[in-house]
Structure 1
Amino acid sequence: MKVIDRYLEIWNETDPAQRRVLIDEVWAEDGRYTDPLAVVEGRDAFDAMIAAVQEQFAGLRFTLGPVDAHHDIARFTWLLGPEGGEPLVVGFDVAVLTAEGAIAAIHGFLDKVPA
């Protein structure tokens, strides 16, 4: 599913200007992100959260697992780790899309986190 591929691109884009272009393409203006560690609403807050995650996990990359989608929802697994290496973090997200196909909400779960 292309919107989910683009969503993961956002997490890996370290150039702030290019990351914002991707966010504006994929993320609904009032999109909401929720996981066990964060709740953010809107593009600016989402962008700031990603920048903080990139700083905390510098040099690591997100990769996408299988995506299962129907109607306006998608579920997928993602992994965060060194390129080609064992993931340090594994998560499972559910995306809710707008009628136009933008991400309206992400409901995130963490399956594996560093000790």
Structure 2
Amino acid sequence: MPAIDPQSLIDRYIGVWNEPDPGARRKTVHDLWAEDGLHILRPPQEMHDKAVGLGFTTAVLEARGHEELCARVERAYEDFVAPGTYLFRVQEAPVLLRDVITFRWESYNRQEGRAAGGGREFLVLGEDGRIRLDYQFVE
């Protein structure tokens, strides 16, 4: 695996969720995630509880591969960043251990001037240094 600068990788990771240019977002997704990369989201408690209430035993959301990842990032951008409400940013510096990077992030409410939510990320990198598995825990 190539030498990884965890801060640089995380800055690019957070940046893609805030990127206004669709072409730049798509290119960054392709650069950051492996072709078959998987983003696994444990949704917020309210969404989880609704799914369980519908009879699901677990509520986990997944996006696999560049096309689904591009759609996931685009939807998050359109719903949260484009309206001018939120900005995603790193809350806690990343820590690298072999092929895993973990860090905390927050959604900063620009209108209220404070963090409105956030979560923890666990990224498992492939041999080429791109993200194979992206575990996201929204808090």
Q: TM-score, normalised by structure 1?
A: 0.89
Distance apart, 1:82 and its partner CA: 2.9
Match of 1:85 in 2: 113
Match of 2:128 in 1: 100
Match of 2:101 in 1: 74
Question: What code does the residue aligned with 1:25 have?
Answer: D
Match of 2:88 in 1: 62
Gaps of 5+ in 1: none
Of the candidates 62, 69, 74, which is equivalent to residue 46 of structure 1? 69
Aligned residue for 1:28, secondary structure, equals strand
Gaps of 5+ in 2: 1-5, 44-60
Aligned residue for 1:68, secondary structure, equals strand
Whose helix proportion is higher, 1 or 2?
Answer: 2
Aligned residue for 1:101, secondary structure, equals coil
Distance apart, 1:107 and its partner CA: 0.5
Whose strand proportion is higher, 1 or 2?
Answer: 1
CA distance in 1, matches of 2:32, 2:104: 18
Match of 1:8 in 2: 14
Identity of aligned residues (%): 29
Distance apart, 1:56 and its partner CA: 1.6
CA distance in 1, matches of 2:9, 2:125: 9
CA distance in 1, matches of 2:17, 2:78: 11
Q: Structure 1 runs of 4+ off > 3 angstroms?
A: none
Larger Rg: 2
Higher RCO (C-alpha 8 Å, min separation 6): 2
Distance apart, 1:70 and its partner CA: 1.1
CA distance in 2, matches of 1:44, 1:35: 17
Q: TM-score, normalised by structure 2?
A: 0.74
